[in-house]
Structure 1
Amino acid sequence: MTLIQVLGTTVVLSLLLAVAEAVRRVYFHPLAHIPGPRLAAITWWYEFYFDVIQPSIFVFKIQELHKQYGPIIRITPDEIHINDVGFLETIYAPSMSHRDKYDYILRTLQIPGAIGATVRHDVHRKRREALGPFFSRRNVLHLEPLITGKLEQLCQLITKHASEKTTINLSDALFAFSSDVTNNFLFAHQTDVLADETLAATLRQNGNDLLLGININKHFPWFPTFLDSLPLFISKPIMPPGLIDMLALFDRVRAELMGIVAAKSSGVSSEKRLGPTGKESVYHSVIDSNVLPPEEKSLLRLEQEGALLVLAGTESPAKSLNIIFYHILANSSILSKLRAELSTVPKTASWTELEKLPYLSAVLEEGNRLSFGVTARTARIADETLTYTPSPYATSPGKPYVIPPGTPMSTTTFSAHTAEAVFPEPFTFDPERWLGDAGNERRKFQMAFGKGGRKCLGIELARAELYLVTAALVRGFNMELWETDESDVAFVHDYQVAMPKFESKGVRVTARIL
């Protein structure tokens, strides 16, 4: 047989196998009964088109498909999406229920050792148990002076721009603040990004650019693996700056880990007042944990843990504050109500005092809602057979469907936070919707910090930042938007977090001291 005949036979057999697999996925797959486009059922290239060719807009395409096919649809050969907030509690079950994550989606991050990228439910529980005390409300309250110290520095930066009558990129400043708070809360080593506006702008842009590549990781997971296999002198020149920043973060946390291990071996103890956990660094919580087996304390695993904690802890509060300040500065009536309420408490009010203010709390809830938290699909997998029956919140009529065990299923935060049955005029920034009994009822649909047993570990730290920063800046400064409009904070692209138009420079303001 000639080479041409071999190649021809190979092509024919490959085509026959592809057709056979397509037929199986459409007619004989366990999800064959779930509605949705045939092409999505046949191949992941359907998702790839909206993830990569059309720059990460699959989350919006999913909403279009629901209008055509109903509240439950098949969006890839193996995965379903449910556009019904009445089913959230079933998908994102409490911590005692067994729900694994979907490894296909998690490979965007390429850090499997981190708690946020943990696939198995049982492994996640152990990792969370080890970290939980360090992220507890009690420990955040103890470390509140760390937040207020950085807040004073942020106010000094804005005061400097006010005195010089120059504009300030509030997005860069809030990113630097949140980055410093997160790093200095987690680790014994300290950072001071807030002291250098140029560095803050560079790091924020590098981080955004790095996120632009995460969908490549999902669809071509071999590419980052190949990059990692190359010697650093070859791979580093072609790395995006954000990846180089991450490698620098790995170096910092590795040095801290090795220092902790060395100190424990020599019996040297910290001279700092360590607070309720007795831990100076989050890594002490992990290394001293009795629930984690030795393999969970490996250097690589802990480096990945630290990296994701920093990335998530920086991005989430900074994004929410960005949304909050754009909208309150764009709406004078909201700003006036907020200032009136804040005038009822001392300027030195603590986080716990500020939490009691209903309108401030409502403003923060609305900022979190329109920040959308983790925008990527956070699919869960149940061991048991489930039945989806449309609830009164379903966006369109439908019939019950059986969901086979082992099926990845999700509701995106975009879907939940724009459900008009719960949030009328969903793209309007309206804090009033969170007030009173109706507002309390809506809180069960808030997904900015996740839901169920995998809810964000750092929620208390993020809440403290949001309350203290919003109160201080609203009371301390009269800020006006400068060359900034709603398109600078709108959700246009889904790169794990909500991103605005690519050319956005962030929220920029001028400030006067009040």
Structure 2
Amino acid sequence: MAILSALSADISNAPLAVLITYLVPAALIWYATVVVYRLYFHPLSHIPGPLAARATHLYCFYHNVIRGGKFYLKVEQMHKKYGPVVRITPSEVHLSDPGNYDKINFVGTPYVKDPAFYHRFGNDHSSFSTISNEEHRIKRAALGTFFSQKRVLELEDIVQAKAQKLEDRMRSELDTSGRINLHHGFRAISVDVITDYAFDDCYDFLSQGDFGRPFFNMIRGTGTAIWFFQQFPFVQPIALAAPFWLVKIMSAPIARVMTLNRSCSNHISKVKKAVDAGEEMQPSRRTIFHQLLKPGFIKGYTVPTVEQLTDEAIGLVAAASDTTGNAMTIATYNTVINPEIYKRVNAELKEAFPDANAKLDLTTLEKLPYLNAVIKEGLRLSYGVVGRLPRIVPPSGAGFNGYTIPGGATVGMSSWMMHRNKDIFPEPDKFDPSRWLDPTTSKSMEKYLVFFGKGTRQCVGMPLAYSELRVTLGRIFRHFDNLTTERKSLEDLMYDDYFSPFHAEGKNKFIFSVKT
């Protein structure tokens, strides 16, 4: 019996023994071979960079997931050590020379978005995640009609109403508690505007006591899932196909991605139901998706499916949730802590609008040099997207700063390094609106202000974002001349990169009060 028991045990353990004896060493040999190839035989092996970054994508994963969105800072350190062209992953090169930006990002560029990066956002049908430049052109043509300068002027009343609502909240809370945290308040304006305009179903975060904080925390949480999916792409379709109750148990970030998807899908389905029922809206209130769901919207237009428009909606809401609001936060904070800047922008607005009760119309606000200089500095120091935006080099290859990059490789740049280049923006960490006042100098610097991107893939919502910035900041700086706030350190103002930049937990309060 003892012999039989021993034999039985040997048989049952055989698979484990095989795994240990053969498969594990084979896997190690395979991976070692991959590393040797990447370091010495890969088409990018001649590009300098840290050994770990050249050998494995886990280096990027560690700094973005384990360290919490810090890879962009590590990339900056790489450039200081290795120069303007650095290999930051086995398949990706990063550039720091601002002169290279227009070589990649121009209208008609042959560079396309990197599918390995952009497909991890989970909205492949959106114009944002579309890889083909030709396909993107068609989608952008449809969307662009809703974000043209003309259309934005027609929608000014929506923006004015949201800005008025925030102003009323500020007055109420400053009168009662003497303080207000505007970190989420500024973001609430952008989301309320886009959901009103896109669905005719405003989220109305400006009426909520916390300005919709759970929603913004959800958006932040999706960033972790995006970085995880980029490292382990095979997990993405499995995770997103799993039951929601299971996902909530297994992964909070992935659950947040699914929650956003569900919310946008419900909105699109609601709009489609109204369109199918023949419900007509007033011309002034025809929303983005009411129009996109109608046949013949533009010549040759094919009505997308609910799934496709859900992806587009996700992109619009996510984009509105942080970038413009963050720029408002940075502009307001830096203006308030600098008395001379605050006094000057307030004086300019009072001269333009001597009647405190007059409407601060967008056409006039666009012409105020100092207000717009403040806005540009807010954009510069909030970056839009703080990390790299990877593109695929066309088949012909490309040359950057003496290095040849083969076709099919990935190359990217970041606004973080562009906006902090000392040769273009002296004292780059200083909030200095006066740098934008000389027309010649301003025109030269604007080439390197890439908050909205440039070229073919420039943010389609830029005119609407500028409208929100001018109207909201114009109201605040005209109607409040005695705000104060605590000064933060440069460390407190640093970002965590979850594609959009976020201030670290515990350091993301921007509390304003009034001088007594």
**TM-score normalised to structure 2 length:** 0.89
Contact map agreement 1:113 1:304 (CA 8 A) in 2: yes
Worse overlay, 284-293 or 49-58: 284-293
Partner of 1:334: 341
- Give the Cα–Cα distance (whole angstroms) in 1 for the partners of residues 406 and 92 of structure 2: 11
> Does residue 1:299 correspond to 2:306, yes or no?
yes
> Does residue 1:463 correspond to 2:470, yes or no?
no
- Give the Cα–Cα distance (whole angstroms) in 1 for the partners of residues 138 and 426 of structure 2: 40
Corresponding letter in the other structure for 2:165: Q
Contact map agreement 1:362 1:435 (CA 8 A) in 2: yes
- Give the Cα–Cα distance (whole angstroms) in 2 for the partners of residues 373 and 37 of structure 1: 27
- Give the Cα–Cα distance (whole angstroms) in 1 for the partners of residues 38 and 364 of structure 2: 56
Give the paired residue count.
497
Q: Shift in Å at residue 64 of structure 1?
A: 1.1
Partner SS for 2:37: helix
Partner of 1:395: none
- Give the Cα–Cα distance (whole angstroms) in 2 for the partners of residues 14 and 488 of structure 1: 42
Q: Shift in Å at residue 432 of structure 1?
A: 1.4
- What pairs with 1:260-271 in structure 2 (closer than 5 Å)? 260-270=271-281
- Give the Cα–Cα distance (whole angstroms) in 2 for the partners of residues 248 and 48 of structure 1: 24
Partner SS for 2:86: strand
Corresponding letter in the other structure for 2:210: T
Corresponding letter in the other structure for 1:129: A
Q: Shift in Å at residue 348 of structure 1?
A: 2.2
> Does residue 1:496 correspond to 2:499, yes or no?
yes
Q: Shift in Å at residue 170 of structure 1?
A: 1.1
Partner of 2:7: none
- Give the Cα–Cα distance (whole angstroms) in 2 for the partners of residues 349 and 423 of structure 1: 31
Change in Cα spacing, 1:18 to 1:166, as seen in structure 2 (3 Å) is same
Worse overlay, 223-232 or 117-126: 223-232
- Give the Cα–Cα distance (whole angstroms) in 2 for the partners of residues 292 and 40 of structure 1: 46
Deviations 1:118-167 (A, max 9, x none): 22222211111111101111111101001111111111111112322431
Contact map agreement 1:359 1:435 (CA 8 A) in 2: yes
> Does residue 1:274 correspond to 2:284, yes or no?
yes
Partner SS for 2:122: coil
- Give the Cα–Cα distance (whole angstroms) in 2 for the partners of residues 408 and 251 of structure 1: 32
> Does residue 1:221 correspond to 2:218, yes or no?
no
Q: Shift in Å at residue 217 of structure 1?
A: 2.5
Partner of 2:367: 356
Q: Shift in Å at residue 298 of structure 1?
A: 1.9
Partner of 2:96: 83
Contact map agreement 1:134 1:282 (CA 8 A) in 2: no
- Give the Cα–Cα distance (whole angstroms) in 1 for the partners of residues 57 and 300 of structure 2: 36
Partner of 1:145: 157
Change in Cα spacing, 1:223 to 1:450, as seen in structure 2 (3 Å) is same
- Give the Cα–Cα distance (whole angstroms) in 2 for the partners of residues 16 and 428 of structure 1: 51
Change in Cα spacing, 1:242 to 1:333, as seen in structure 2 (3 Å) is farther
Deviations 1:402-443 (A, max 9, x none): 111112111111111111111111111111112211111100
- What pairs with 1:88-127 in structure 2 (closer than 5 Å)? 88-94=101-107, 96-127=108-139
**TM-score normalised to structure 1 length:** 0.90
Contact map agreement 1:127 1:292 (CA 8 A) in 2: no
Deviations 1:328-375 (A, max 9, x none): 011111111111211221242311211111111111111001001012
Partner of 2:512: 509
Partner of 1:431: 433
Deviations 1:180-225 (A, max 9, x none): 1111122222331111123523333333334344322222234443
Corresponding letter in the other structure for 2:329: N
- Give the Cα–Cα distance (whole angstroms) in 2 for the partners of residues 291 and 427 of structure 1: 48
RMSD: 2.5
> Does residue 1:50 correspond to 2:52, yes or no?
no
Q: Shift in Å at residue 226 of structure 1?
A: 2.9
- Give the Cα–Cα distance (whole angstroms) in 1 for the partners of residues 422 and 300 of structure 2: 43
- What pairs with 1:158-177 in structure 2 (closer than 5 Å)? 158-177=170-189
- Give the Cα–Cα distance (whole angstroms) in 2 for the partners of residues 87 and 202 of structure 1: 39
Change in Cα spacing, 1:287 to 1:506, as seen in structure 2 (3 Å) is farther
Q: Shift in Å at residue 248 of structure 1?
A: 5.6
Q: Shift in Å at residue 264 of structure 1?
A: 4.2
Partner of 1:41: 54
Q: Shift in Å at residue 479 of structure 1?
A: 4.6
Corresponding letter in the other structure for 2:283: R
Structure 2 segments unaligned to the other structure (5+ residues): 1-10
- Give the Cα–Cα distance (whole angstroms) in 1 for the partners of residues 270 and 34 of structure 2: 53
Corresponding letter in the other structure for 2:84: P
- Give the Cα–Cα distance (whole angstroms) in 1 for the partners of residues 496 and 253 of structure 2: 21
- Give the Cα–Cα distance (whole angstroms) in 2 for the partners of residues 253 and 53 of structure 1: 29
Partner SS for 2:145: helix
> Does residue 1:134 correspond to 2:146, yes or no?
yes
Q: Out of 79, 89, 105, which is 1:66 matched to? A: 79
Partner of 1:393: none
Partner SS for 2:106: coil
Q: Shift in Å at residue 51 of structure 1?
A: 1.6
Deviations 1:448-503 (A, max 9, x none): 11111100010000000000111100111135344562458612321112222321
Change in Cα spacing, 1:511 to 1:225, as seen in structure 2 (3 Å) is farther
Partner of 1:367: 378
> Does residue 1:16 correspond to 2:29, yes or no?
yes
- Give the Cα–Cα distance (whole angstroms) in 1 for the partners of residues 212 and 490 of structure 2: 22
- Give the Cα–Cα distance (whole angstroms) in 2 for the partners of residues 99 and 17 of structure 1: 32
Partner SS for 1:388: strand
Structure 1 segments unaligned to the other structure (5+ residues): 391-399
Partner of 1:209: 221
Change in Cα spacing, 1:238 to 1:20, as seen in structure 2 (3 Å) is closer
- Give the Cα–Cα distance (whole angstroms) in 2 for the partners of residues 126 and 493 of structure 1: 34
Corresponding letter in the other structure for 1:325: T
Q: Shift in Å at residue 255 of structure 1?
A: 4.2
- Give the Cα–Cα distance (whole angstroms) in 2 for the partners of residues 56 and 174 of structure 1: 23
Moved over 6 A (4+): none
Contact map agreement 2:360 2:475 (CA 8 A) in 1: no
Identity %: 28
Q: Out of 315, 331, 335, which is 2:322 matched to? A: 315
Deviations 1:87-144 (A, max 9, x none): 10112121x2222101222244222222212222222111111111011111111010
- Give the Cα–Cα distance (whole angstroms) in 2 for the partners of residues 199 and 286 of structure 1: 31
Contact map agreement 1:101 1:379 (CA 8 A) in 2: yes
Contact map agreement 2:147 2:463 (CA 8 A) in 1: yes
Change in Cα spacing, 1:215 to 1:312, as seen in structure 2 (3 Å) is same
Change in Cα spacing, 1:5 to 1:255, as seen in structure 2 (3 Å) is closer
Contact map agreement 1:365 1:431 (CA 8 A) in 2: yes
- Give the Cα–Cα distance (whole angstroms) in 2 for the partners of residues 331 and 281 of structure 1: 40
